[in-house]
Structure 1
Amino acid sequence: MTEQAKRRATIARLNDQLRSTGEDGWTYLSRGVSRLPTVIQEDVIRAIRLFCDFTPDNDPRGEHDGAALTVGEHRIAWKIDYYTRGQACNGKVDPADQSATLRVMTIMFVETI
């Protein structure tokens, strides 16, 4: 495995940890998601935590840092961004360094289908 492949695997593992447990990062719901009924919000979060359908089309870098999915009649997207711990602005960040990187997952409403 190349160094780049190892790095991407580490980033994917850390992103999966946040996505599947909600730990070691922050999760935000967009206004559209937060306006959905609580039971649907719970379904959305559960679906994202269980999501494992990563493909080269929806995850071209192999870092598991975002995707879109359908939950009931709602199309939802989620994205993980990286910030240097202790800084309010997005600077140069190493997403493979768990101790220095804060992961922030944003869950967004796309449309009702």
Structure 2
Amino acid sequence: MAQTNENRSEAEFNAIIAEQNDRFRTTWGADFTVPGQIVLTRGVADLSPAAKAIIMQRVQTFSEFTEDNDPYGDHTIGAFKFEIAGNSYHIFWKIDLYDKDYCMGSNDPADVAVTRRVLTVLHASEY
């Protein structure tokens, strides 16, 4: 019998969300058991293919979660800096949890059957 949200502690609930977020993020959305979309802001989309490849790799391999940047332990946001071709970039990524129609927040974010993720990658200045 599956545990309902009412029977889970906040830490257990956040750990489930973190595991799902990690599967979605590390596979760049290719794990279809955790449905969602990847969105690049215009500022990121306009970068060179080489810069976007670095960003994709850095988002997928991000593991520097701390109490400061991940206070709930759900792995919904990250940030990093990198340089390429003499340019420096400060990049944020965040995951939002929507209902199946992408209209509002999911009423049960731990249930992948009713939740869709949107991973947005943006310049820190666009936040």
The alignment's TM-score, normalised by the length of structure 2, stands at: 0.80
More strand by share: 1
Asked if residue 20 in structure 1 is aligned to residue 34 in structure 2, the reply is: no
Gaps of 5+ in 2: 1-7, 30-34
**How does 1:1-113 map onto structure 2 within 5 Å?**
3-23=9-29, 24-72=35-83, 73-85=88-100, 87-110=101-124
Question: Residue 109 of structure 1: CA displacement?
Answer: 1.3
Gaps of 5+ in 1: none
**What count of residue pairs does the alignment treat as equivalent?**
109
The alignment's TM-score, normalised by the length of structure 1, stands at: 0.89
Identity between Structure 1 and Structure 2 (%): 37
Question: Residue 68 of structure 1: CA displacement?
Answer: 1.2
CA contact (8 A) 1:47 1:71 kept: no
Give distance in 2, aligned partners of 1:44 and 1:92.
27
CA contact (8 A) 2:79 2:93 kept: yes
Question: Residue 32 of structure 1: CA displacement?
Answer: 0.6
Q: Mark the structure with the bigger radius of gyration.
A: 2
Provide the alpha-carbon RMSD of the alignment: 1.4
State the one-letter code of the partner of 1:45: M
